[in-house]
Every structure is written in structure tokens, then in C-alpha cells.
Structure 1
Amino acid sequence: MSSGGWAAHSPLAARALAWSEGRWTTPPAAVASDGDALLVTAVESSDAWRTTAYGFVHDTEHALVAPLPVGAAMEVSFTGDFVSEFDQAGAFVRVSDEEWIKAGVEFADGALQLGAVVTHRFSDWSVAPVPQWAGTRITVRVSRAGDAVTVRARSGEEPFRLVRVAHLDPEAEAEVGPLVCAPTRAGLTVRFASWTIGPADAALH
């Protein structure tokens, strides 16, 4: 399913998740309601990274996670003012302290970037510039099937684009949900408009 979206044949019904269904991996500086949306303010120096190239371990990300079984997909939609180096938001997939994935947008090298970090003891990082996404509503979709997690994203109502395909043990217990980090400043607030779960994508392509 190249454009993403819920697979109609799956027995798992798509539904909105209540914010109360998640747990924080690290509590943010502040959380507030805005109608059905959730406003999350990051703590300065919050981040997720393990060792590679930089030599440090950061595990202070603000992720509101809930279980994601094999055969399911989760989406988060959000807006934010990403203007300082490494401001970021998206979705976080957590198996353990040493195994996780974060995917979404990040302000780096003077532009908004779309990318992912996949961590199996050591982190990697891949990005591509999306300056045209600044100020838009962004949706990140994480689909789990077999031994893989497929990450897609889009701005507004445009078609989903593939961000990453990563290995995930089908026996692993994984949690997924909205993510905010602000490695270099205080005051980053991201507005999460929706959090949904439903069936995994019917196909990789």
C-alpha cells in the first residue's frame, strides 16, 4: 500500500487513542489539553541517542507510548514551530533502552528534515530536507507486520511517503506513540492533534 492508510480487510478496527492510554517514557516539562489535542512542552536537553559518532547516551525523550502488536499501525498528527537546532517531533517505537526507533521531523543544519533513527544498541540516523513542510500538519505512520516496521509520513493530505523500513523481532513487545525532544533549548511546544491505531498496511509497496 504505497500511500499508507488502513487496510480494510484487517479484523483490527481503526480507532482514536485517548491520551490517557499512553505512558510517558520521560515526563515532559508541561502537558495541556486544547480541545481534543494535546500540547506537549519539552524539557531542555531532552533527546534519544545511543553512542554512535557522538559518544554519548541520551534517553530522556518525551514519548507517550502504548502497545503496538504485530499486524497493527499507529499514526500521530502534529504541528510545531521547529526553529532551533535538533527540535524534533514524531513517533517513537520502544522495545527497550537499547532497542527503539524514532521517526518524524527535526530541525537540523538550518532546515526542517524528515528522517529516522533506528537503534539496536547503537543508533544510526538518516534525513532528507523538507523545508516546505514547515508550519504544516505532519502525520507519521508506523506500521508493524512480520519482522518489520515501516515508517511513512506526510504533510497535510498529500500521499504518504516512505521514510524507513527497519527490522523488529516479531516476538518483541513494542510500544509506540507521540514523541517530542528539544536537545538545545527550552520552550518547544508541539500540538498533537490525533493519535490513532488500526490495521497494518496491506503491502510494503
Structure 2
Amino acid sequence: MHIEAPIEVPWKSGAWTTLPAAAEEETGGRLLVTAAEGSDAWRHTGYGFVHDDEHALLEDWDRGQAVEVSFTAAFESQFDQAGLMIRVDDEHWIKAGVEFADGAPQLGAVVTAGKSDWSVAPVPEWAGEEVTIRASRLGDAVVVRARAGEEPWRLVRLAPLDPDAGAQAGPYCCAPSRAGLTVAFTAWRLTDPDEGLH
């Protein structure tokens, strides 16, 4: 399906996986979401625990469209995070975005199929910037890209996803180690998907 112009997804069209501490749509259209202390999404690997109480605002994702989420946040505590979540079920999901880890903002993704697989790269220059995460389904995969401002897109992850699986997607945030993280989501949109990986 070709989209002439990006389609803005209304915040009210999604449903929360776990209610955040607070969520308020501003007059200008931003959605301010305050994460509950201890919220996270993770399964087993390395840490030995399962967390499934992330704040993800999801709706059904048409594979013929790319989904983009934009946000700003003042990350300051270990594992503060926000971005885009793709969810098939509680054991099959992908989260991609910016996560504050080891003293710096990190661009990365967690791909989960029973167990979680995490990759990150430092992006200290993205502190305080508006970040956009974009995902497209491409055959048996999801292509995740990201950028700050209007810079060129960066490839974050090529991850497997059953081409026959129905999925939901939308913005998410978590605050595993503190209370008070508020993320300003500035856009949730659908647009044309990537036509290829390169």
C-alpha cells in the first residue's frame, strides 16, 4: 500500500500493555508519559528475570506500512528508555530506541523470542535531541532504523519476524531503576515501508 503522506496515528487509538504512572496529551499534540518505577521488558538472558510491565501503547500493525515513533526525554538513570515496541505475544517482541546505560545514552534494540538479545551503541550526541525510530517489515524480517533530528537514517537492527505473524506496534517507555521519568512522544505515524535493506 502506497501512502501519499505520512498518516498520524491518534494517541487514543492504541491500548496500553501496562498503564503508566501518568499519560497526558498536550494541546500541541505531544503525549507526555511518566513511567512507573521498576517498569521494564526483558526475558531471562544474563539477568535471570522476566519483566513484562513496560508501558507500550500499541495497535495492530499492517505489514504494508512502516511505523515511526518520535520522542524526547531527559534520560539520567540506569536503563531509562523509550522508543518503539513491536509485539506478537509475551515471548515474541522487539523494542528499539534510546536507553541510558553505563552513564550514556545508547541506541539499541532488544529482540526477544523466548529469551532476550540486546545490542547497543553509544550516542552521547543525541542527549536532549528528538529521536525517531522506524520499523518496516521486509519478508521474514523487521528492519529498524533511527535518527536524531533530520540526520540520515541509521540501521539499528535486522531481526527475524515470522512473516505470517500478526503484530502490534507503537511507542513505549520504561524506568527500571527510578520514579519520575517522563517521555514526550512527539509523533506516531505510518508511512511507506523500506523497499530493501540497502
Q: Do both share a fold (TM > 0.5)?
A: yes
Letter in 2 for 1:33: E
Q: Which residue of 1 aligns with 2:22?
A: 30
1:48-87 aligned within 5 A: 48-87=41-80
**Where in structure 2 are the equivalents of 1:93-172 lying within 5 Å?**
93-172=86-165
Instruction: Find the residue that maps to 2:158 and give its secondary structure.
Output: strand
SS in 1 for 2:67: strand
CA distances 1:86-128 after superposition (whole Å, capped 9, x unpaired)? 0000000000000000000000001100000000000010000
Distance in 2 between the 1:194 and 1:11 partners? 20
| Structure 1 outlier segments of 4+, above 2 Å | 10-14
Q: Read off the aligned partner of 2:196 and give its amino acid letter.
A: A
Q: 1:192 aligns with which of 185, 191, 196?
A: 185
Percent of residue pairs identical: 62
Q: Quote the offset at 1:12 in angstroms.
A: 4.0
Deviation at 1:146, TM superposition (A): 1.4
Q: Which of 9, 17, 20 is residue 12 of structure 2 equivalent to?
A: 20
Give the whole-Å Cα distance in 1 for the aligned partners of 2:52 and 2:38: 10
Partner SS state of residue 125, structure 1: strand
Shift of 1:66: 1.1
Matched pairs, number: 196
Secondary structure at the aligned position of 1:28 is classed as coil
Distance between the aligned counterparts of 1:164 and 1:172, measured in 2?
19
TM-score w.r.t. structure 2 length? 0.97
Q: TM-score, normalised by structure 1?
A: 0.93
The answer as to 2:2 corresponding to 1:11 is yes
Cα distance, 1:202 vs structure 2: 1.4
Measure, in 2, the Cα distance between the counterparts of 1:131 and 1:111: 6
The code of the aligned residue for 2:8 comes to A
Structure 2: segments with no counterpart, 5+ residues:
none
The answer (yes or no) to whether the contact 1:71–1:146 under 8 Å persists in 2 is no
User: One-letter code of the match for 1:201?
Assistant: D
Tell me by how many angstroms 1:71 deviates.
2.2
The equivalent of 2:170 in structure 1 is 177
| CA displacement at 1:72 relative to structure 2 | 1.5
Contact 2:138–2:196 under 8 Å retained in 1? no
- 1:44 paired residue number: 37
Instruction: Map Cα deviations across residues 23-70 of structure 1 (whole Å, 9 max, x no partner).
Output: 101110000112211000000000000001111000000000111122
Amino acid at match of 2:125: Q
Assess if the C-alpha contact under 8 Å between 1:71 and 1:145 holds in 2. Answer: no
Give 5+ residue unaligned stretches, structure 1: 1-9
**Structure 1 residue matching 2:12: 3-state secondary structure:** helix
